[in-house]
Structure 1
Amino acid sequence: MASSRPPPTSSPSLPPNSQPFSPPASILIVGSGLFGLTLAWSLARRDTFSQCSITVVDRADPSSPDVFPSPDAASVDTSRIIRADYADAAYAALCMEAQVHWRRQDKPTHLGAQGRYTETGLVVVAEQAPAPQREIVVDKSEMTGMDYARSSYDNVLSLAARHPEHIRSVRELPNAEAIRGRVGTGGSSGTWGYVNEGSGWANAGASTAWLFDRVKSTGRVTFVAGTVTSLEHDGATATGAQLAGGRTLSADLVVVAAGAWTGGLVDLSGQATATGQVLGYIDLTEAEQEHLGRMPVLLNLTTGLFIIPPTDRVLKIARHAYGYLNPVTGSSPLPCSPTAPAPQVVSQPLTHLTVPSLSIPKEGADDLRRAVCEMVPLPGLAERPFTKTRLCWYSDTPTGDFLIDYHPQWKGLFVATGDSGHAFKFLPVIGDKIADCIMGNCPAEFRTKWAWKPAAPVVITEDGSRGGKPGLILAEELAATH
């Protein structure tokens, strides 16, 4: 599904032609997920954009047209891991910055208050014993889960030494017995790991609602409920978006921040692709909730399987994997340049909103049950039916880095996507970073990471954090299920 792409014609971190930034009179943000909402919040609070009209357009729940984002968005769920535990030091430091905000809980209006953030600790593990003589792996594509875990451990130890007020107790768990002891469920996972007591999890749905309320309260942002079917352009300049039903929204700057849906609007061949990830939920008894509610988050970087402590008697099991592709024809994204053809096949999300009977493939369900057996081996739990399952859609990039940049071939078009399944934790800070990029001030440590890159032959995220098998096709796996 990849195609060749002309190299960027302008500096990746500056507006086209590298001219001093002049705010546009109007900005249209396509997408109200994490990147879209946080950007709108940042723009609405900046003096630079005080005379700029800001519009956010996105699909909304038909039963609640005034609530954004849509309930099948990746940013809407029961929980997300909040961790500074990264093999990449730049992301580790950025999350440390975000955690300052997550930990503010003194007032009900603070982000982390009212149960939106809980610091339970995080146990990071991987399979096989680490090789003590192995050199540190720098190329993400060559990293194993163990490489990622070891580098993450080194990074959080370094942060703890320099910022003890922000990074709390971090200690090695050198074997399965030590891992089992800290997890406290009777189960274990991996053969080596560590615990960071200063990481935890967020209630994603409640946190996104908190963010949406903050954006609305500025009085600066207009929300439009509608499905964007294509982007409008005049020659080589993006001018707006067309909605289902024929309505057109125009703006001087178009920002596409539609998560896994972005590839259906802008040709991301060789840059990013949509992948579906499996989630499962199991109802618990009061006794099981009491027992498992005290566990830390447990993440295996070799298998990608993880479990977040349950709340309200519901246990979530998930897999951070290569995911499923859903190649479809018939979409008409803006091509990679004004003279190039649009791609014929694009991986696009398939969710329970469009197919209410949608379930996860047996391959994924079996893997989730394996996680329950290993991590939380309570009697009968692994055989208990899932209360519900879900496909969560990532916008995956080859390196797991975000894509936050002006389009190299279309004027007036900015793309903020490529969450790669790990963006939610940056909710308090990522909007400001995206706004900085729009203004030509991309943080130096992310200038290359977030830039538009030469097209990869095939987009498979290889950063050491993924489990499962690459290249699985959703339709084929669903067919095998039935």
Structure 2
Amino acid sequence: MAGITPASKIIIVGSGVFGISTALWLARSGYGDVTVLDMQDTASSGYDPLSGVDSASADLNKIIRFSYGSEIEYQRLATEAAKIWDEWNAEIAATPLDELPERLRDGEKKLWFNAGWLRMSSEDEFGTFELETLKNMEREGIREFQFRSDDEADINRAKERGWAHKLDPCRRQERFGTHKAVLDSTAGFVYAYKSCTWAQHLAKKAGVQMILDSVRGKVLDIGSKEGRPVVYTADGSEHSADLVVVAGGGWTPSLVPEVQDLLETTAGSVATVQIPKDRPDLWDRFSAENQPVIAWGTRQGKEVYSIPRDDNGIFKIGWRKTKWTNFEDVGERRISVPRTAHVTEKKETRLPTDALNGIKEYIEINFPELVPLGISSTRLCWYTDSIDNSFVIDFVPGRPGLAVCSGGSGHGFKFLPILGREVVKILQGQGPQTVYGRMWRWRSSTGNGRNGLEEGEQGPRVLSKQTMASETDWKFAN
């Protein structure tokens, strides 16, 4: 839709990473009538998941990595995002406390922590994927920032640069006699809810309007009148616009049926362990100063990660081996939809037993000192997978004025500061002329490797087919 002008009325459905980044960049690009609708009050809650917000963006923290192996386009965009993450840290540090959003006034005044990312093998040797990744980094000229735990030159370089203490935080060499890992010193994590709060703060300052309410902001349907899209909300209102951008995360396929063969709503499994403040040994050890982000057994059948504790002592562990689906009737089809802790009619905080056992195995093997503490909480993190793990940002065929901005596929958060820049180009009709517009275009898949979307309700990942763990399973066997 090349016809939008600075005066065009634009509605964005969803205030998560994709929606708020798009809103911010539209406003900063001169579009003066941008409104964000969301059924969750992400403003007063500050996106804090502990305040009852359910979305992939509303999380405690997210891994930030700028290395993408052979996916050079994503790597280049991530590298650009890295500069803005640094700028945001500096801007927040320089802002008087009373001028910051409330959620950013507590704890450290920063979003992004360069804690490093340890890609740790669960076996005695590196997997093929890791060796290929290192070769790609060599070609891209960033190998010097990667430290192999079994390479003397790398170990010495890590010592010189102050990273050696993060090469083996689980003491695997000492306990098992072998430790194969690579520490990426460019990576780390961000406080997710604080990052979205900051982006929303910047968007409001740039003139974006927000309707964040369980009734007034809840979108029931998107239709059309006189060739223009119309958004229908739960309070009975009709919002006509020149352009509607649906960035609804896990709710996107429900709102735009045409995207259901491109995107599927799935859930990752997350658990936390509460690190006690009266245990200075553990408190210090699991801090960002001493603990890297860890990925264990990637493509080796384990697929577990952990992120250093936050200011409140919450140590987050995620299990990525299986992404769950939850099928319900939506219109004339049964599709996967979120089943969350707070927002949905049917609520769920439990994890499938397989996921909880995978997380407990990670703790038992790598952090046995946490076993007496047990698991503190569990949640399902709902987002959207695309057929090929690449985003879907394009106009919906046959629906004038309607666009989709979704498909984060578990790796979208790092692009929060920069994504909207490329989205604006696509919305201006430049998509076919830009590398990201071509990557994220409306598409179909013919062949295998559809990220599980072809399974449907008959597949093994459906939540109703799982044995769910209860709180009694949070404790470890003696």
Q: TM-score, normalization: structure 2?
A: 0.79
- Look up the SS of the partner of 2:239 in the other structure: strand
> Which residue of structure 1 aligns with residue 295 of structure 2?
299
> Which residue of structure 2 aligns with residue 279 of structure 1?
270
The Cα shift of 1:180 comes to 10
Letter paired with 1:314: I
Equivalent residue in structure 1 for 2:435, among 441, 445, 470: 445
Equivalent residue in structure 2 for 1:184, among 166, 169, 172: 169
Q: Among the aligned pairs, what percent are the same residue?
A: 24
**Contact 1:187–1:377, Cα closer than 8 Å, also in 2:** no
Q: How does 1:115-154 map to 2 (within 5 A)?
A: 115-126=110-121, 146=127, 148-154=129-135
Equivalent residue in structure 1 for 2:64, among 77, 82, 88: 82
> Which residue of structure 1 aligns with residue 40 of structure 2?
60
Provide the rounded CA distance (Å) in 2 between the counterparts of 1:130 and 1:20. 56
The Cα shift of 1:444 comes to 3.5
The Cα shift of 1:218 comes to 1.8
Change (3 A) 1:96 1:158: farther
Change (3 A) 1:456 1:259: farther
Equivalent residue in structure 1 for 2:238, among 245, 248, 268: 248
> Which residue of structure 1 aligns with residue 201 of structure 2?
213
**Contact 1:92–1:156, Cα closer than 8 Å, also in 2:** no
1:288-320 deviation line (CA, Å, top 9, x unaligned): 121222121111322321011112322110023
Provide the rounded CA distance (Å) in 1 between the counterparts of 2:194 and 2:383. 20
> Which residue of structure 1 aligns with residue 160 of structure 2?
none
Equivalent residue in structure 1 for 2:392, among 397, 403, 426: 403
> Which residue of structure 1 aligns with residue 148 of structure 2?
172
**Contact 1:187–1:376, Cα closer than 8 Å, also in 2:** no
> Which residue of structure 2 aligns with residue 290 of structure 1?
284
Select the structure that is richer in helix.
Answer: 2
The Cα shift of 1:150 comes to 3.6
Residue correspondences, number: 420
Provide the rounded CA distance (Å) in 1 between the counterparts of 2:182 and 2:85. 22
Letter paired with 1:154: K
Q: Does 1:377 align with 2:368?
A: yes
Provide the rounded CA distance (Å) in 1 between the counterparts of 2:419 and 2:360. 34
> Which residue of structure 1 aligns with residue 349 of structure 2?
358
Provide the rounded CA distance (Å) in 2 between the counterparts of 1:68 and 1:359. 19
Change (3 A) 1:85 1:57: same
- Look up the SS of the partner of 2:429 in the other structure: coil
Letter paired with 2:238: T
Provide the rounded CA distance (Å) in 2 between the counterparts of 1:238 and 1:158. 49
Change (3 A) 1:446 1:220: closer
Q: Does 1:368 align with 2:368?
A: no
- Look up the SS of the partner of 1:310 in the other structure: coil
CA-atom RMSD, angstroms? Answer: 3.3
Provide the rounded CA distance (Å) in 2 between the counterparts of 1:220 and 1:34. 15
Provide the rounded CA distance (Å) in 2 between the counterparts of 1:264 and 1:478. 26
The Cα shift of 1:44 comes to 0.7
Structure 2: gaps (5+ residues): 96-103, 156-163, 453-458, 472-478
Provide the rounded CA distance (Å) in 2 between the counterparts of 1:63 and 1:108. 18
Provide the rounded CA distance (Å) in 1 between the counterparts of 2:354 and 2:112. 32
Q: Does 1:230 align with 2:233?
A: no
- Look up the SS of the partner of 2:439 in the other structure: coil
Provide the rounded CA distance (Å) in 2 between the counterparts of 1:471 and 1:261. 22
The Cα shift of 1:95 comes to 0.9
The Cα shift of 1:42 comes to 0.5
The Cα shift of 1:478 comes to 4.6
Provide the rounded CA distance (Å) in 2 between the counterparts of 1:183 and 1:461. 33
Structure 1: gaps (5+ residues): 1-14, 132-145, 162-166, 333-342, 463-469
Letter paired with 2:115: T
**Contact 1:231–1:238, Cα closer than 8 Å, also in 2:** no
1:334-362 deviation line (CA, Å, top 9, x unaligned): xxxxxxxxx51110001000355632222
> Which residue of structure 2 aligns with residue 200 of structure 1?
188
Letter paired with 1:261: W
Provide the rounded CA distance (Å) in 1 between the counterparts of 2:418 and 2:348. 37
Letter paired with 2:37: V
Provide the rounded CA distance (Å) in 2 between the counterparts of 1:365 and 1:479. 9
Equivalent residue in structure 2 for 1:108, among 84, 88, 92: 92
Provide the rounded CA distance (Å) in 2 between the counterparts of 1:54 and 1:149. 43
Provide the rounded CA distance (Å) in 2 between the counterparts of 1:60 and 1:249. 18
Letter paired with 1:30: V
Provide the rounded CA distance (Å) in 2 between the counterparts of 1:198 and 1:451. 30
> Which residue of structure 2 aligns with residue 73 of structure 1?
55
Change (3 A) 1:414 1:68: farther
Q: TM-score, normalization: structure 1?
A: 0.78
Which shifted more, 443-452 or 147-156?
Answer: 147-156
Provide the rounded CA distance (Å) in 1 between the counterparts of 2:271 and 2:16. 22
> Which residue of structure 2 aligns with residue 389 of structure 1?
378
Greater relative CO, 1 or 2 (CA 8 Å, sep 6+): 1
Which shifted more, 222-231 or 276-285?
Answer: 222-231
> Which residue of structure 2 aligns with residue 433 of structure 1?
422
Provide the rounded CA distance (Å) in 2 between the counterparts of 1:38 and 1:96. 17
Change (3 A) 1:369 1:35: same
Provide the rounded CA distance (Å) in 1 between the counterparts of 2:179 and 2:238. 55
- Look up the SS of the partner of 1:472 in the other structure: coil
The Cα shift of 1:186 comes to 2.2
Q: Does 1:98 align with 2:97?
A: no
- Look up the SS of the partner of 2:309 in the other structure: strand
The Cα shift of 1:171 comes to 2.4
**Contact 1:259–1:395, Cα closer than 8 Å, also in 2:** yes
Provide the rounded CA distance (Å) in 1 between the counterparts of 2:132 and 2:3. 39
The Cα shift of 1:63 comes to 10
> Which residue of structure 2 aligns with residue 7 of structure 1?
none
- Look up the SS of the partner of 1:396 in the other structure: strand
Provide the rounded CA distance (Å) in 1 between the counterparts of 2:319 and 2:232. 35
**Contact 2:18–2:419, Cα closer than 8 Å, also in 1:** yes
